[in-house]
Amino acid sequence: MENEAKKSKGPTKTEIGVVFMIFLMLSLMMICSGMVFPIQIMIYLSLGWYSFLKSILPQMTPSTAGLVTSLVLVVLLAGIIQMLGRAAMRYFNRQSTKSKVPYWRFRWTIIMVVFLVLSFVGGFAVVGIARQTSWIVTTEQAQIRWSGNEISHRIESRNNLKQISLALHNYHETFSQLPLGASFDQTGRPHHSWATRLLPFLDQVPLYNQIDFHQPWNAEVNREPFQVSLSCFRNPGVRSARESIPASGRYQPSHYAANARVLSINSGLSYQMIEDGTSHTILAGEVHSDFKPWGNPLNLRDPALGINAHPRGFGSPFKGGVHFLLGDGSVRFISENIDPAVLKALATPNGGEDMDRFQEDW
C-alpha cells in the first residue's frame, strides 16, 4: 500500500533529472549534427516578441485619449461584473435551502477583470505565434538552412514592408491615389519623396509637421528632420548601419526603395489604374547598395534591372533573392533566378502581360 501511495504522487526528482539529461543530450546531438532548426524555432517562438517590440515601441506615440478611454472601459467592465456577480449570488441564496452562498466579493471582480484582459492580450499573442509558425513551416525548403539571426532579420524586414504597405493603403484611402514617387519643381530641382509623404501614416505626424514642403528636402531648414532614423526604413539584415549612411549631410538612409514604374516622378497612380492587377505589381522592395536617404526623392529603382544584379537595382542582404511588396499588400520573397521577362512584367503596372502563365515561375 505504501509503495502504491508513493507511485501515485507522480515522478520523483531522479526521474525528472533523467528526463532532463536525455533532453539535453538529444539537443547537443542535434546541434553537433547541424540539425539546429527545431531548436531555433523554439527560441524564436518564445523570444520573438523581443525583436517585435524593439521595432514597434519606438514608433508608438502614446495617446491620452486612448489611455483614458481604455481606463473608462475597464472601470465599466468591473462595474458590470460586480453587479452581475451580486445578482447571481442573491439568486442562488434565494434558491438555496441549505447553507447560504457567500456574497460576491470585490476581489473576485478584480480577478475576473485581470483574467479577461490577459485573455484578450493572449489572443493577440497566439495569433502572432500562429502566423509566425505558418510562415516558417510553409516557406521554401532552402530557407530552413538560415542561421538564427537571419531568420529574425528576415521576419523583421518583412514586417517593415508590411508597415509600409499599410501606410500606402491608408494614404490611398485618404487621397484616392498612391503618393508621388518624387516631386520636382519647374526648374527640375527634386523636392520630396514618397517616404516623406507617408510619415503621417507611419505614426510620425510630429516629424512630418517639422518639414517645410515649400523647400527642397536637403535645404538647410529641412536638415534636422531628415537626420532622424526611422526603424521602418532600416533593414536589420544590413550588417553595418554606418556603412549605409550616405557621406553627405548625415541624412538617415532607407534600405527600401519604391518601384519607379509605379511611384514615378510627379505622378501618383490609383489602384484602379494598375491594369495588370495589384497582386502582380511590385510597389517597393529591399536594396543592398547605393543607399539613398529616406527623404531623397531619387529613392526609386527599376525592378527590371534584375535582383542582386545591378548596384542601382533591387537587392537584398539575404541570400537568394529579395523581399518585395506587392500592390495587394502581400510581401513575397522573389528568387534572383527569376525569368527577366517575368520580373519586368511584375515591374509594370499596365504592361498587359498574361501573368497566369507566369504564375509557376515566381
Report the pLDDT value the prediction gives residue 145, as an integer from 0 to 100. 46
- Give dist(CA 162, CA 165) in Å, integer: 5
Burial class (CB in 10 A: 0-12, 13-18, 19+), 302: middle
Mean pLDDT split into 10-residue runs, the chain, 362 residues: 52 73 72 60 60 58 74 86 83 67 78 80 62 54 53 89 95 93 88 95 94 92 92 85 55 94 86 89 93 93 92 89 93 91 90 57 51
Whole-angstrom distance, CA of residue 200 vs CA of residue 149: 31
* pLDDT for the residue 244: 54
Burial of 310 (0-12, 13-18, 19+ CB in 10 A): middle
| Cα atoms found within 13 Å of the Cα of residue 96, Cβ hemisphere only | 11
Give the burial string for 8-42 (b: 16+ CB within 10 Å, else e).
Answer: eeeeeeeeeeeeeeeeeeeeeeeeeeeebeeebbe
Calpha distance 352→362 (Å, rounded): 17
Per the structure block, which three cell numbers stand in for 254?
532607407
Angle between helices 37-56 and 148-175 (to 10 degrees): 40
Q: Rounded to an integer, what distance in angstroms lies between the CA atom of residue 265 and that of residue 141?
A: 39
Nearest to 274 by CA among 232, 228, 214, 329: 329
pLDDT reported for residue 41: 61
Residue 48's pLDDT is 57
Cβ-contact 345, 353 below 8 angstroms: yes
Cβ atoms 293, 321 nearer than 8 A: no
- Which one, of 199, 192, 132, lies nearest residue 164 by Cα? 199
For residues 203 and 59, give the distance between their C-alpha atoms in angstroms, rounded to a whole number: 6
Nearest CA to 285 out of 328, 244, 235 is that of 235
C-alpha span between 360 and 224 (Å, rounded): 47
Return all residues near 324 (Cβ < 8 A) that are at least 6 apart: 161, 282, 284, 285, 286, 303, 314, 331, 332, 333, 334, 346
